[in-house]
């Protein structure tokens, strides 16, 4: 299992390697036994090299995802699935372009080297992979749904054969 952290935080929610280790230590010493168990498990995974924490300058660069360096691409290509968290990663994957909302997401991120799950809170007018019915319903329910941070998506893009 691999976790890719940032070299430095660009946004308040960005995690650096020290944050990962601090969080594991906090969990290990928590008063709740379930959290202590999780912390102990994560600590053991790190110690036994079952969980690797990586960083790379690419993750804090302004480059779109399709310009990822070969070493990052090779690491991601080994994954069974990649979880990409956050609005900024989503926007980078789509080139921060204003695609028609119904553009198939798999067509846009066909360059990605592994199956991909996006976990994103919508904060920018960048979106793809929705049906016409979804777009219509969202515009009726909340005209600012793309940008107000109150809506989110979980989208899966299978790997390419």
- pLDDT tens track for 47-76: 999 999 999 999 999 999 999 999 999 999
pLDDT value at 14 more than 90: no
Give the whole-angstrom CA distance, residue 42 versus residue 75: 21
Res 148: pLDDT: 96
Strand ranges inside the chain, DSSP E: 2-5, 52-55, 82-85, 116-121, 152-157
Token pair for residue 120?
A: 């994103």
Answer whether residue 13 shows pLDDT above 90: no
pLDDT of residue 118: 98
pLDDT tens readout for residues 77-132? 999 999 999 999 999 999 999 999 999 999 999 999 999 999 999 999 999 999 99
The whole-angstrom separation of Cα 21 and Cα 31 is 18
DSSP-derived letter for residue 58 is G
Q: Rounded distance, CA 37 to CA 111, Å?
A: 38
Picking from 8-22, 24-38, 58-72, which range would have the lowest pLDDT averaged per residue? 8-22
8 phi/psi in degrees, rounded to 5: -155, 150
Residue 11 — very low, low, confident or very high, per pLDDT cuts 50/70/90? confident
pTM for the whole thing? 0.87
Q: Check residue 85 and give its pLDDT.
A: 92
pLDDT classification of 160: cutoffs 50, 70, 90: low
């Amino acid at each position: 299992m691999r976790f890719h952290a940032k070299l430095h935080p660009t946004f308040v929610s960005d995690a650096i390697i020290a944050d990962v280790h601090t969080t594991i230590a906090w969990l290990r010493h928590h008063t709740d036994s379930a959290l202590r168990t999780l912390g102990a498990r994560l600590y053991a995974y790190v110690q036994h090299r079952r969980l690797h924490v990586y960083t790379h300058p690419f993750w804090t660069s302004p480059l779109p995802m399709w310009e990822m360096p070969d070493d990052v691409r090779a690491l991601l290509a080994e994954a069974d699935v990649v979880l990409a968290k956050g609005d900024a990663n989503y926007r980078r994957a789509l080139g921060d372009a204003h695609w028609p909302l119904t553009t198939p997401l798999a067509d846009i991120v066909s360059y990605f080297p592994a199956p991909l799950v996006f976990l994103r809170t919508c904060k920018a007018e960048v979106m793809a992979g929705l049906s016409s019915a979804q777009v219509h319903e969202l515009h009726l329910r909340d005209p600012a749904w793309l940008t107000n941070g109150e809506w989110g998506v979980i989208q899966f893009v299978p790997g390419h054969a």
